[in-house]
């Protein structure tokens, strides 16, 4: 059956799979993706917890304030070789010849809460701005990341509706611009509450930009280049994370970081005159003349010839109305169990990916460098997926990647203190596994459900998956209860998901199911093999 996609694919091949025009437009889209990624993880550095201790005015003033002077154990309780952040010993007023804290007898054994602090470094975050010091305020720092993900959740839903009605380009560009405005306004937030409100709006406006950028990028080229370009776009997301961490490393203050990350998106307004709208969106809306104009421009820049007869072959083919509804899934016990399994895997993928990313700044050593390396490992993981899923299958790729993450976390927890490089290597291996699993879960989910319900099933799993990314920023609170608890939770969820994945039928080289019965019978009988679906690596837009 002839379709718009097939006609357009053939035409794109004739115009050059990845010619000068596509290269330029793809480059501009990638810049937008990098900027989106940077602002998406900015909260990691604007809401950082810092190392500090109680200020002791009677001692610090006389000793040219240092973070860890020799007398500190006399004045402040210690735990795990670190000074208490918010408690200090009461000065012993009965002592004679007070010696500026140099004697233990200068203090009693009673403790009191302090309200002024000495910081180990010159770093600035909203911790100082809104007085969020001490353990009972840590939840306010971790809440920033959760609010960001709640904003993403709401924004993805709304931006999908707007994108379908008004086009991908509008959401891609305006989303980044309004995201930039809200981000910059955050630097003037008078209270912590206003900071959270603007954090939510910033995330909500920018949520759809990555998805639209991904779609616009891969739709510029012919079928043979889509997997490669999809992988490159996802790699640009990792580059944006690195850009954010690098900026924070250089400035080490939350306001300059926001300026450097949220300022550039404001300059993307000129994209309205440069970047084309999706040709497929034009065709789906019956706006054939605009679609033809984009293709004529592509042919001109690429040095190719395109005739009006070739353009006239682009016709809209209305798909038959879907008779299956989402309620049909719940009539099949197999599909219900499969959907529940998928949902748990999606939640686990998001929890592991974002949990390992966000907690990397708390590893021993330079937190900025750890974050950069943890983000950098995503790139080989994306390219590894291209080869692995079509060789060992979807089920074993997904299960194996979960186990890689789980085993890495267990090994990380068993490494003694002082072996920082070994710990970092295990953490990066865990992030590698979580990136692979997040990519593969897209593929296997798209192949397990029938065509009429595929989009709604993917959307449902993706929506529930956001629960994992919302919870991930809260894992530092678990470390207050017991330091290894977050790692144990990562390990437990990865192990359970790895085992549950083995219950999925293998979908490698199957014919994509078009009916409920075909979906139920996957793995029960031989099916006609077909080309693999497009390797969707747009995980950040779920």
In this structure, what are the phi and psi dihedrals at residue 83, rounded to the nearest 5 degrees? -70, 150
User: Does residue 445 surpass a pLDDT of 90?
Assistant: no
* Predicted structure pTM score: 0.86
Cα 105 to Cα 75: distance, rounded to the nearest angstrom? 10
Lowest mean pLDDT among 127-141, 366-380, 463-477: 463-477
For the beta carbon of residue 366, count every other beta carbon within 10 angstroms.
13
- Considering the domain 325-542 in this protein, what is its CATH number? 1.20.1250.20
Phi-psi region of 185 (alpha: psi -120 to 50; beta: other; left: phi over 0): alpha
The stretch 478-495 carries a mean pLDDT of: 91
Indicate the range of 297-311, 349-363, 405-419 predicted with least confidence.
Answer: 297-311
Q: Which helix (H) or strand (E) holds 184?
A: helix 168-186
Structure confidence at residue 5 as a pLDDT band (50, 70, 90): very low
Q: For 110-136, what is each residue's pLDDT tens digit?
A: 999 998 999 999 999 999 999 999 988
Q: What is the pLDDT of residues 145-170, one digit of tens each?
A: 999 999 988 988 888 788 878 888 99
Domain assignments of the chain as residue spans, ordered by start: 1-50+128-319, 53-120, 325-542
- Fold exhibited by the domain 1-50+128-319: Growth Hormone; Chain: A; (1.20.1250)
pLDDT score recorded for residue 540:
47
Q: Please, are residues 275 and 216 in contact by the beta-carbon 8 Å criterion? A: yes
Q: 3-state DSSP call for residue 391?
A: coil
pLDDT at 316 over 60: no
pLDDT at position 315: 56
Per CATH, 1-50+128-319 and 325-542 having the same topology is answered yes
DSSP single-letter state for residue 97: S
Strands 52-54 and 117-119: antiparallel
Asked whether the predicted pLDDT for residue 314 surpasses 80, the reply is: no
């Amino acid at each position: 059956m002839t379709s718009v996609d097939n006609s357009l694919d053939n035409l794109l091949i004739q115009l050059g799979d990845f010619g000068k025009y596509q290269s330029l437009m793809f480059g501009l889209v990638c810049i937008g993706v990098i900027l989106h990624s940077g602002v998406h993880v900015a909260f990691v550095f604007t809401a950082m917890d810092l190392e500090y201790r109680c200020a002791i005015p009677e001692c610090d003033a006389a000793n040219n304030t240092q973070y860890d002077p020799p007398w500190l154990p006399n004045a402040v309780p210690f735990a795990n070789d670190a000074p208490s952040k918010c408690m200090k010993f009461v000065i012993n007023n009965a002592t004679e010849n007070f010696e500026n804290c140099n004697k233990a007898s200068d203090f009693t054994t009673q403790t009191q809460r302090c309200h002024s602090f000495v910081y180990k470094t010159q770093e600035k975050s909203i911790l100082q701005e809104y007085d969020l010091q001490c353990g009972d305020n840590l939840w306010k720092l971790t809440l920033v990341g959760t609010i960001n993900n709640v904003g993403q959740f709401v924004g993805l839903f709304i931006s999908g509706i707007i994108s379908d009605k008004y086009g991908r380009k509008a959401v891609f560009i305006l989303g980044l611009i309004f995201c930039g405005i809200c981000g910059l306004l955050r630097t003037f937030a008078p209270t912590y509450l206003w900071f959270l409100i603007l954090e939510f709006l910033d995330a909500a406006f920018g949520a759809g930009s990555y998805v639209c950028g991904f779609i616009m990028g891969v739709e510029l080229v012919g079928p043979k280049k889509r997997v490669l370009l999809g992988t490159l776009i996802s790699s640009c997301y990792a580059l944006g994370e690195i850009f954010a961490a690098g900026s924070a490393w250089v400035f080490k203050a939350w306001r300059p970081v926001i300026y450097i990350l949220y300022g550039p998106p404001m300059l993307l307004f000129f994209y309205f005159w440069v970047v084309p709208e999706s040709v497929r969106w034009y065709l789906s809306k019956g706006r054939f003349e605009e679609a033809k104009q984009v293709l004529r421009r592509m042919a001109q820049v690429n040095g190719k010839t395109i005739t009006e007869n070739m353009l006239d072959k682009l016709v809209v083919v209305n798909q038959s109305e879907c008779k299956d509804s989402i309620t049909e899934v719940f009539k099949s016990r197999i599909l219900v169990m499969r959907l529940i399994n998928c949902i748990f895997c999606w939640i686990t993928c998001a929890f592991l990916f974002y949990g390992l990313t966000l907690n990397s700044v708390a590893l021993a050593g330079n937190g900025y460098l750890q974050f950069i390396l943890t983000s950098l490992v995503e790139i080989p993981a994306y390219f590894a997926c291209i080869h692995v899923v079509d060789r060992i299958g979807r089920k074993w790729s997904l299960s194996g990647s979960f186990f890689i993450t789980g085993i890495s976390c267990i090994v990380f927890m068993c490494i003694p203190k002082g072996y920082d490089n070994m710990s970092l290597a295990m953490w990066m291996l865990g992030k590698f596994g979580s990136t692979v699993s997040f990519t593969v879960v897209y593929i296997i989910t798209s192949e397990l459900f029938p065509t009429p319900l595929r989009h709604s099933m993917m959307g449902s799993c993706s929506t529930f998956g956001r629960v994992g990314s919302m919870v991930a920023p809260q894992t530092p609170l678990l470390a207050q209860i017991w330091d290894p608890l977050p790692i144990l939770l990562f390990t437990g969820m990865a192990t359970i998901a790895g085992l549950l994945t083995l219950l999925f039928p293998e979908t490698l080289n199957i014919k994509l199911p078009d009916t409920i019965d075909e979906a139920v019978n996957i793995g029960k009988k031989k099916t006609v093999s077909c080309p693999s679906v497009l390797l969707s690596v747009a995980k950040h837009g779920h």
